[in-house]
Structures are given as C-alpha cells and as structure tokens.
Amino acid sequence: MPPSRRLPRTVPLFRDETVDSFLARLAAANHLDIEELRALLDVRMLKKTPITELRPPLATVSGYTEHHLTLALPEFIATKRTDTPGLIDRPLPDSHNAQRPACRFCVHRAGITSPVICWMTHERNVCLRHLLWIGDGCQQPEDQVDITPLPDTVLAQRHHRNLIARHGRRWVGLAFHSAKEIFLDWKERYEFHPEEAVTRRLTALSHPSGKPVADDLALTAGFHPEIVRLSGLLASDHWERVALRKGGLASFLDEVSHRNILGGYEPEDRSDPLLKWVRDRVGNYNMALHFNRWEILAFLFHDETTRRLTKRPATDLRTCPLPLPHY
C-alpha cells in the first residue's frame, strides 16, 4: 500500500542530488535501513520502471511536494527538452555525467551533516566559494582538497564558465572530456618543461591530515589550466573548421603552442592523440554526410543538460564543417 503519512524527520533538499543519495539521508535521519525506506515507498523498481514512479510516495514520506522534489533531484525531470523555469540547464542523469560528492562546505552550510552525492556537469571542478577541488579524483568528501596553492586552477574555473557562455555547453563539455584525455596522453609521451615547475604543481596540494593527494587528482587539478585552454581550442567552431579544411591542419596544431597549452608542440607520429581527435571528427562528419543526416551526430555529440524546447540559444546548434557534396 502506498504510504499515507510523512516520516517523523525530514531532511533539507540539495540541488542536483541523486535520488539514491537523498533516500540514504532520509532513511538515516529516520533510523531506517535504505531497504526499509524502499519497502515503505512501495514501488517495485524493475529494470524498465521509470524512476518518476518513486516521486509521489517520496513526496508523501519526505514532506515535500512533487514539484519541489523535481526542482532538486534531476532524475525526476522526465524530459530532455523543456521550457519550465527551474528545469532548464539541469544535469541529465545518464552515464555521461559523473556522480560525485558536492562541496563538503556547501553541504555543511545547508545544514546537512552527511555526504551528498550530486549529478555533476563537466565544469564543476572547483567550488569558487570555498576554493575546494570537487572534480576528478574526489570519491569521498574528504578527498576534496584546498586549491589555494594553485591560483591558476582557480582562474581556469572562471575561464571554463566563460567558454561555456561563448561556445555552448554541449561543445565545451565534449571538448573538455577529449582535452583531458589528450593532455594526459601527452603527459605520458612528451617531456614537460621545466621539470621543477611541473613537480611543484603536482605536489602543491595536501590534505590537512597529511594524507597524500591521489595521483590522478594531483594531475588533473595541477594541469587544469592547460586542459581548459585545450578545451577552448577544441570547442571552437572556427578552429574545428580550420583543422578540417584542406591545408589547415598545421595552423590548428600551431595554435596549441600559441595558446600556451603545450610549448613547442609537434606531434611525434600519427598516433598523437590530437591528430587522432581530428581524424575521428572527420570520420564522424563523413558518416553523417554519407547518411545525409546531420542528426546522427546527436548520438555522438550528446547534450549533458536539459535544454530549452523553444528559443534554443544559437550556441546549441552548429552546421556541418565539411563541404556538402553536390548532387
């Protein structure tokens, strides 16, 4: 039978929290096991049961309205395109988006004492209010480390947000994931200079407990400025067209040094990850042209947030950079 009453204790909502995380907090506050809470909700969650089925009973037991739950928990937003205020630009709960702990100081400030796991969009790497690294490598709230020793990483966080405003979230999101892979691959292949400066960056961060910072966290936080600059290059419609134009590749590659992403960059051979990125793009566009369907790319170039249904911003949409064949 569906529940008819509120639980004795309620818990504050937190923006972009996962449903599992919210259930865990609500159960803990009421001294229930998560399974006991699920039994109370009385919804059999089979593989194909939409998660929105949980919303009405959860509204009853949590004391919030269904509308408030939807505003806080993105899994309850049932559509990818919407014009409803508050539901636009919210993380899509799918496998492309990460789930990580929210900034532990922001959580504390909201009056919550247990960890909150959130759906993260790709640019949520530094909490600018508390100067805490909340990006890659943070599995637990305690992994979040004070970022003040790396002021360029803090600046890169602002730069990153500007890139999204300029090029559009979808393109910067895709570019950032590629940029991270490309840059970390370069780190394996090429000598980075000067060595002391690199070591200084990689050892700048420390936990108050004295516990060493994990290698992957040190690497992504330490080179965040370069990764964001490379994202700007990869997300640019203009530079993508240059790279794909006949004879344009050399100027595109030169831009890597000009933008101070990797000084003196010259690809060693065809297996260089940036060259591979260009080849993959050409392959993607050729496939779309072959089927004469630009929408095919929506599967590869997915959105990371809900978007407007009408009046979509111009930065959401692009045209194919390859010359269309004549028929």
**Contacts with Zn ion, residue ranges (CB under 5 A):** 103, 105-106, 127, 129-130
Q: How far is the CB of 49 from Zn ion (least distance, A)?
A: 35
Residues 6+ apart with CB under 8 A from 253: 265, 266, 267, 274
Residue 58 vs 103, nearer CB to Zn ion:
103
Residue 67 vs 129, nearer CB to Zn ion:
129
Q: How far is the CB of 202 from Zn ion (least distance, A)?
A: 24
Q: How far is the CB of 290 from Zn ion (least distance, A)?
A: 47
Contact (Cβ atoms closer than 8 angstroms) between residue 125 and residue 133: yes
What is each CA distance from 284 to 72, 78, 152, 280, 288, in whole angstroms? 36, 29, 34, 6, 6
Structure tokens at 189: 């292949």
Residue 122 vs 124, nearer CB to Zn ion:
124
Residue 101 vs 232, nearer CB to Zn ion:
101
Q: How far is the CB of 132 from Zn ion (least distance, A)?
A: 6
Q: How far is the CB of 127 from Zn ion (least distance, A)?
A: 3
Within a 13 Å sphere around the CA of 282, how many CA atoms are in the beta-carbon half?
12
Residue 112 vs 278, nearer CB to Zn ion:
112
Structure tokens at 90: 């919210």
d(CA 289, CA 305): 26
Structure tokens at 144: 């979040």
